[in-house]
């Protein structure tokens, strides 16, 4: 793979001599698109140049592959590049499978780290950052920038624009219902109840923003105590800002702490988000969207365990997710008032 | 006397976790070995409980549809709600419960005051089902 990537990059760097790729590493395995990081060093007319790159390749069996292809991700990054939302600059997208065996995109390797909030080291990292205070403010500020974006001017209408009222919420329920229907799992009464409840109680959307869909630590690159890039553009939609806020507020995105996403004080988040966006957080809508996230989680786990059961993946982490389904449903049952 | 399959799987899980996993090199491969132990353990527990759970599930479902028969307005329930209950009374499986839930929501306006108690009764049975699943899922 290293040789093929080097040959490809050589075709994109006009006039480059002595191209070398160093520190090439694959950092994600199995769940989503493959991610490769590397630094390129070359010379142009005798002058040394270097640049960090991040390459994402479609392995053909990625979780959510049906909902998120790399062409869409690339286009979203192109739209966001000139905006205040911190994102990696997109360089090239290729759907010619002859190049690397599958479609791929290449983007900027943004400085920073992405500590895993579920691991011991990651939890300590965010705990220390919370004490210093700059990263929590940056976390909220980046979300506010995202929700304050003029998505029409940015060219993001191609993502699909919901109609007024409850169209957005019903559209999301329908999307995940269809996703679940494509799996081979037997019907689950609590899931059916959850879906029917979501359809019967969809909240109207007051305003439309660009929703990231999975805004939390672990999907954000951190550098020098600030968010250097918002990553994982796989679930974005034009929709209700409370969809993202509910995800931030979710208990599922923190562990062993009251801090949202293991990082942000709840009261500070409310105050800073509302001040920066002018959007009042609607707790009822957030409760609704948290139940929608439960449905989405079940869809993830059903799809993931199917990938293993049908032989499309040999990653046992996916096989294990089959037993995550009742755990999510049990929690949803409690939230529904069972 | 041969070892029941569930116990055998449990022992293989222990071997995988304690003997094989620790000496596997490579982060990804070690994670896979650990996951194999986790999956085998859950399978073992699920297998050990399958017969008991299937009996409980069938009994709960029978009682659910019998109770719903009494909870729904006599002669006044919407036709597809009635059909789902009748199918359940005739021994239908878990898919009938899901279909019933959908028909209850679909006709909730017509069902009026009967909707809450009927859905509540279905939820009690669903609660018992997920509680059983949690015995091996966690």
ipTM of this complex: 0.94
Q: What is the pLDDT of residues B53-106, one digit of tens each?
A: 999 999 999 999 999 988 888 778 899 999 999 999 998 888 999 999 999 999
Query: What is the total count of domains within chain A?
Result: 2
Dihedral over Cα of A152, A158, A160, A163: its sign: positive
What is the SS3 assignment for A136?
helix
Residue A240: CB atoms within 10 Å: 27
Asked if A124 and A101 sit in the same domain, the reply is no
Closest CA to A245 of A295, A202, A209: A209
Do the chains contact at A192 and B102, CB–CB below 8 Å? yes
How does pLDDT run along chain A (338 residues), one tens digit per residue?
A: 888 999 999 999 988 899 999 999 888 655 778 889 999 999 998 899 999 999 999 877 767 767 778 999 999 999 999 999 999 999 999 999 999 999 999 999 999 999 989 889 999 999 999 999 999 999 999 999 999 999 999 999 999 999 999 999 999 999 999 999 999 898 999 999 999 999 999 999 989 999 999 999 999 999 999 999 999 999 999 999 999 999 999 998 998 899 999 999 999 999 999 999 999 999 999 999 999 999 999 999 999 999 899 998 888 999 999 999 999 999 999 999 99
The residue in chain A having the minimum alpha-carbon distance to the alpha carbon of residue B40 is A320
> Is position A114 within any domain?
no
Asked if A104 and A125 sit in the same domain, the reply is no
DSSP A113: B
Asked if A78 and A200 sit in the same domain, the reply is no
> Is position A85 within any domain?
yes
Q: Give the domain extent around A243.
A: 120-335
Closest CA to A57 of A65, A49, A46: A65
Residue A229 sits in a domain whose CATH number is 3.90.1200.10
Asked if A300 and A171 sit in the same domain, the reply is yes
According to the model, what pLDDT value does residue B22 have?
92
Residue A40 sits in a domain whose CATH number is 3.30.200.20
Closest CA to A76 of A208, A178, A253, A213: A213
* Dist CA A272 CA A266 (whole Å): 10
Q: What is the pLDDT of residues B7-29, one digit of tens each?
A: 999 999 999 999 999 999 888 88
According to the model, what pLDDT value does residue A60 have?
76
What distances in angstroms separate CA A49 from CA A16, A18, A19, A21, A36, one per listed residue? 9, 10, 9, 12, 20
User: Which of B38, B125, B133 shows the shortest C-beta gap to A326?
Assistant: B133
Asked if A184 and A279 sit in the same domain, the reply is yes
> Is position A312 within any domain?
yes
Burial of B79 (0-12, 13-18, 19+ CB in 10 A): exposed
Asked if A286 and A257 sit in the same domain, the reply is yes
Asked if A20 and A104 sit in the same domain, the reply is yes
Asked if A185 and A321 sit in the same domain, the reply is yes
Do the chains contact at A189 and B125, CB–CB below 8 Å? yes
Asked if A175 and A211 sit in the same domain, the reply is yes
Chain A residues near residue B119 by CB distance under 8 angstroms: 193
> Is position A277 within any domain?
yes
**Cα–chain center distance at A285:** 21
């Amino acid at each position: 793979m290293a040789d093929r990537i080097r040959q490809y990059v050589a075709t994109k760097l006009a006039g480059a001599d002595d191209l070398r790729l160093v520190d090439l590493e694959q950092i994600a395995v199995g769940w989503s698109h493959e991610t490769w990081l590397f630094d390129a060093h070359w010379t142009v007319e005798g002058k040394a140049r270097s640049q960090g790159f991040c390459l994402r390749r479609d392995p053909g069996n990625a979780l959510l592959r049906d909902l998120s292809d790399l062409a869409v991700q690339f286009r979203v990054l192109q739209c966001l590049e000139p905006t205040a939302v911190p994102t990696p600059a997109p360089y090239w997208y290729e759907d010619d499978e002859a190049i690397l065996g599958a479609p791929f995109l290449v983007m900027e390797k943004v400085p920073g780290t992405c500590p895993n909030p579920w691991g011991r080291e990651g939890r300590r990292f965010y705990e220390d950052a919370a004490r210093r205070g700059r990263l929590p403010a940056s976390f909220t500020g980046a979300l506010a920038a995202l929700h304050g974006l003029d998505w029409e001017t940015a060219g993001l209408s191609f993502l699909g624009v919901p109609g007024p009222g409850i169209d957005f919420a019903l559209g999301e329920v329908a999307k995940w219902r269809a996703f679940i229907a494509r799996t081979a799992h037997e019907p689950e009464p609590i899931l059916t109840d959850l879906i029917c409840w979501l359809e019967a109680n969809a909240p109207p959307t007051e305003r439309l923003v660009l929703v990231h869909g999975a805004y939390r630590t672990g999907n954000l690159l951190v550098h020098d105590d600030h968010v250097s890039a918002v990553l994982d553009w796989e679930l974005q939609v034009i929709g209700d800002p409370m969809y993202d806020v509910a995800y931030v507020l979710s208990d599922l995105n923190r562990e062993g702490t009251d801090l949202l996403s293991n990082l942000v004080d709840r009261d500070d988040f409310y105050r800073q988000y509302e001040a920066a966006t002018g959007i009042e957080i609607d707790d009822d809508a957030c409760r609704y969207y948290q139940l929608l996230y439960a449905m989405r989680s079940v869809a993830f786990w059903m799809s993931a365990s199917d990938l293993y059961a049908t032989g499309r993946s040999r990653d046992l982490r996916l096989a294990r997710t089959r037993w995550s389904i009742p755990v999510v449903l049990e929690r949803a049952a409690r939230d529904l008032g069972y | 006397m041969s070892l029941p399959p569930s116990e055998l799987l449990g022992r293989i899980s222990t071997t995988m976790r304690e003997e094989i996993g620790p000496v596997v090199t490579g982060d990804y491969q070690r994670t896979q070995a650990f996951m194999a132990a986790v999956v085998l353990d859950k399978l073992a527990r699920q297998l050990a409980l399958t017969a008991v759970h299937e009996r409980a599930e069938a009994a709960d479902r029978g009682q659910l549809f019998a109770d719903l028969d009494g909870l729904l307005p006599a002669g006044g329930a919407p036709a597809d709600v009635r059909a789902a209950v009748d199918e359940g009374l005739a021994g239908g499986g878990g898919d009938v419960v899901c279909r019933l839930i959908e028909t209850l929501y679909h006709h909730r306006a017509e069902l009026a005051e009967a909707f809450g108690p009927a859905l509540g009764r279905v939820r009690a049975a669903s609660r018992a089902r997920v509680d059983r699943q949690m015995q091996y899922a966690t």
